[in-house]
A and B are shown apart, each in its own frame.
Chain A
Amino acid sequence: MARQVKDRDLIQIYETMLRIRLFEERVIHLYPGEEIRTPVHLCVGQEAIAAGVCHNLLKGDYLFTNHRCHGHCLAKGMSMSSIMAELYGKRTGCCKGKGGSMHLSDPDKYILATSAIVGGNIPMAVGAGLALKFRKGRNISVVFFGDGAVDEGAFYESLNFAALKKLPVLFVCENNFYATNSPQWARQPLDNIFKKGEIFGIKGFRCDGNDAAETFKTSKKLIEKIRNGSGPYLMECRTYRWKGHVGPDCDFEKGCRPKYELETWLKKCPVMRLEAKLLKKGLLTGAKIEKIRRRIRQKIARSEVFAKRSRFPAAGEVYADVYWKG
């Protein structure tokens, strides 16, 4: 990867990562209060993928994500307040309290649907790519999914069709080596997700999913090609989730994963890594970082107040929106 990453990009990506990290940490803090009553799948430890990839996206690019969606949605520019309010089940939430944590979406940000059916989002992303192809623009469709989704037939059906029709789709697999408590090796004979598009003629790239500069650079290169009509690409980003599969706790105490694994990966914290890089380059200072953190914390606090003060939907709302009335 010859191209140099611009300093400004790195700073922005850092801010996005920090926004995701601090938001998720706040959710962890708030969750035991039982005002957030929706299963949260936190992406702490995986922020570099959402931040790096989404930094290359235009407003009109579609984004499809899965149950672990907070980071992607924040990185694509969704309002933090509308997300927080959705977690609180309020009518001001992005889905008016009908989606919850696993289905954050916002058509204004071109996040049309977020599926908690493993692999279910992938065909939809391809379909949005088909719509884009009909309209002949330069926009693309990006889909984020886990290593678990790679087990699903929908993944292969999607690769096949996207390649067949040369659709403007970027497949981004966040390989955190687990699907709930099931390790990748128990489900897949080979550790080669990035190669799984090859039989369809889709080139794949593997990158360090904890290195934001790398996820950014790799996706930048691929997205440029896709915008120019290359057809789809597949990206495997290797990473690790710090929290349990669902909820604010860790799962190591329960014996779900070996402790040393976490310890190894904690050292590769994507936020700290980029932070260190930026400090070393002199692009940031301790004081500047503190300023950024404070600004984000204030934003989170405002979103919390907004969510708490918002009203729940009226009971009659349960009947609305089954069908679209226009």
Chain B
Amino acid sequence: MPWTEVAVDRAIKRLSSADKNAGGRVLSYREALREALHQALKRDPRVFIMGEGVDDPLGIFGSTVGLHREFPGGRVFDTPIAENGLTGFAVGAALAGMRPVLVHMRMDFLPLSFDQIINHASKLCYMSGGRVHVPLVIRAIIGRGWGSAAQHSQSLQALFMHMPGIKVVVPSSAYDAKGLLLSSIADDNPVIVIEHRWLYDIKGGVPAKEYIIPIGKGVIRRPGRSATVLAVSLMVSEAMEAAKKLKEDGIDVEIIDPRSLVPFDWEIVVDSVKKTGRLVIADLGWRSGGAAEIILGRIHNKIRGYLKADVQIVALPDTPTPSCQRLERAFYRGSEDIVKAVKKTYGLHKR
């Protein structure tokens, strides 16, 4: 299989060194995604890209732009607006030996394809006793702001953490956008790649070569001694902001980016909390039954003995997303909330 030759990024280990091995090459998150797709299409004739608008002039916020011209022969194609069907087509093609990448401009459209994701993609390997597999990638973009309201803004990652058989990756940097998308395409299982629209313009070191980031290994984005912040996707940069502010108060935050929610790197979090004794989990989804609660529920027994304070969760309040700016501001969570949550573990902040 052509994917075994792709270099696995071992240099990364636990500490993020993304910019170091990029040789000074800087790309935006969107460019990194596009480069990954380009290289995957070039490397592997089984790869194809389908989705509503993948070949239009805007090309999924620039992440697929022009690929249909560089790879003719129907390998990058626009589709009917029929998400469940599309997912089934991709599942069937994957079963039959292809490596489809299905793209959704908004994660909110995934609920229409739940039958094919939940009842089919995630279960076929198991139901066949491991005789078939579904090497499928579903890219889903989380929107936010500009009054997008309740149907164009959802972070539904927790739904996909609930069912076995699916992997969920959450790239938070340009480096990860490329590496994790490539590893998802190389993976033999269904992988949902959750991208945040607000990350598309961020820039970072991205090596020109193909590289794969192991799915299931987290990374320390900022080493620190006094409190652990586990941050998902966009929340990583919010946590970095928060860390700067907290430093002024003498609080040295360690920031962990899990990189994938399924499988999850429990060890990296446990090890960090052993050291710091404090944990804040910052997610983009709702509080109830969200990624943060799922992670906490699983990890609590392992860290209880080391905790100096209750674990804090930064997540969305349990309401749909409002539209107007004023309410959006009241709804979303960010660096200030992380600062408050960390301080709370010190008994410094009372709500």
Chain B residues near A282: list those with CB within 8 A.
Answer: none
- Alpha-carbon separation in the docked complex, A120 to B95 (Å): 14
Would you call A160 and B82 a contact (CB within 8 A)?
A: yes
Verify if A103 is at the interface (C-beta below 8 Å from B): yes
Do residues A125 and B92 form an inter-chain contact, with CB atoms below 8 A? Answer: yes
In the complex, whether A98 has a CB less than 8 A from a CB of chain B is yes
3 nearest A-B residue pairs (beta carbon): A127-B92, A123-B88, A157-B85
Task: State which residues 174-189 of A face B: CB under 8 Å.
Answer: none
Check B92–A126 contact: CB distance below 8 A.
yes
Quick one: which of A131-181 are within 8 Å of B by CB? 131-132, 134, 141, 153-154, 157-158, 160-161, 164-165
Query: Is there contact, CB below 8 Å, between B115 and A130?
Result: no
Q: List 30 A-B contacts (CB under 8 A).
A: A93-B129, A94-B131, A95-B127, A95-B131, A99-B127, A99-B128, A103-B127, A105-B127, A107-B128, A112-B92, A112-B96, A112-B124, A120-B120, A122-B88, A123-B89, A124-B88, A124-B120, A126-B85, A126-B89, A127-B89, A134-B74, A134-B93, A141-B96, A154-B115, A157-B88, A158-B88, A160-B85, A321-B128, A321-B129, A322-B126
Whether B115 lies near A107 (C-beta < 8 A) is: no
Is there contact, CB below 8 Å, between A107 and B131? yes
Tell me, rounded to whole Å, the shortest Cβ–Cβ distance linking B244 to chain A. 39
B97: Cβ under 8 A from any A Cβ? yes
Residue A157 contacts which of B80, B127, B130 (CB distance < 8 angstroms)? B80
Contact of B120 with A127 in the complex, beta carbons under 8 Å: no
B82 to chain A, nearest CB (A): 4
With both beta carbons as reference points, the residue of chain A lying nearest to B164 in the complex is identified as: A322
Once bound together, how far apart are the Cα atoms of A63 and B79, in whole Å? 24
Residue from A93, A95, A96, A120 in contact with B88 in the complex, judged by beta carbons closer than 8 Å: A120
Q: Is B157 interfacial (CB-CB < 8 Å)?
A: no
B130 engages A161 (CB within 8 Å): no
Knowing A98-B128, A124-B88, A323-B125 are in contact, say whether A115-B120 is a contact too (CB < 8 A).
yes
Report chain A residues within 8 Å CB of B189.
323-324
Task: Give the number of residues in B that approach A within 8 Å (Cβ atoms).
Answer: 42
A62 contact set on B, CB distance < 8 A: 96
Other-chain contact of B119, A95, A120, A165 (Cβ < 8 Å): A120
CB of B202 within 8 Å of the partner chain: no
A interface residues, how many (CB within 8 angstroms): 46
B90 part of interface (Cβ distance < 8 Å): yes
Complex interface bits, B89-111 against A, C-beta within 8 A gives 1, otherwise 0: 11111111110100000000000
- Within A101-122, the residues touching B (CB, 8 Å) are 103, 105-107, 112-113, 115, 117, 120, 122
> Which residues on the B side are within 8 Å of A141 (C-beta)?
92, 96
Nearest-Cβ distance from residue A149 to partner chain B, whole angstroms: 12
B125, A324: Cβ atoms under 8 Å?
yes
CA–CA, A106 and B133, complex, Å:
12
Residues of A within 8 A of B94 (CB): 127
Q: Considering the chains assembled together, what is the distance between the CA atoms of A259 and B85 in angstroms?
A: 38
Whole-angstrom distance between the alpha carbons of A158 and B92 in the complex? 12
Across the two chains, which residue of chain A brings its CB closest to B262?
A323
Task: Determine if B132 is an interface residue (Cβ-Cβ < 8 Å).
Answer: yes
B29 at the interface (CB under 8 A from A): no
Q: Is the CB of B188 within 8 A of A161?
A: no
Q: Is A45 an interface residue (CB 8 A)?
A: no
Our pick among B84, B96, B116, B133 for the contact of A131 (Cβ within 8 Å) is B96
Asked if A128 is at the interface (CB within 8 A of a chain B CB), the reply is yes
Q: Given the known inter-chain contacts A154-B84, A154-B85, A161-B79, please indicate yes or no for A324 contacting B130, CB distance below 8 A.
A: yes
In the complex, A325 Cα to B263 Cα: how many Å? 14
Shortest beta-carbon distance, A203 to chain B, in Å?
20
> Would you call B130 and A113 a contact (CB within 8 A)?
no
Q: Which residue of B lies closest to A164 (CB)?
A: B80
- Residues of chain B within 8 A (CB-CB) of A321 are 125-126, 128-130
What CA separation (Å) do A297 and B203 show in the bound complex? 70
The reply to whether B130 and A128 form a contact with Cβ atoms under 8 Å apart is no
* Chain B residue nearest in CB terms to A143: B92
- Complex Cα spacing A249 to B87, Å: 37
- Contact A117 B125, CB 8 Å, known A125-B92, A153-B84, A323-B165: no
Taken residue by residue from 161 to 174, chain B's Cβ proximity to chain A (1 for < 8 Å, 0 otherwise) reads as 00011010000000
Collect the chain B residues with CB atoms within 8 Å of residue A316's CB.
Answer: none
* B48 adjacent to chain A (CB < 8 Å): yes
State how many angstroms separate the Cβ of A100 from the closest Cβ of chain B.
8
Max chain B C-beta neighbours (<10 A), residue from A94, A123, A126: A123
Q: Shortest CB–CB separation between residue B18 and chain A, in angstroms? A: 27
Contacts A97-B129, A115-B119, A120-B119: A127 and B164 contacting too (C-beta < 8 A)? no
Q: Contact: A320 with B120, CB < 8 Å?
A: no
- Which residues of A (62-106) have their CB < 8 Å from a CB of B? 62, 64, 93-99, 103, 105-106
Closest-CB distance, A175 to chain B (whole angstroms):
22
Minimum C-beta distance from B295 to chain A (A): 19
Measured between beta carbons, the chain B residues less than 8 angstroms from A126 are: 85, 88-89, 92
- Chain A residues near B87 (CB-CB < 8 A): 123
Contacting pair A324 B188 (CB below 8 A)? yes
A326 within 8 Å of B (CB atoms): yes
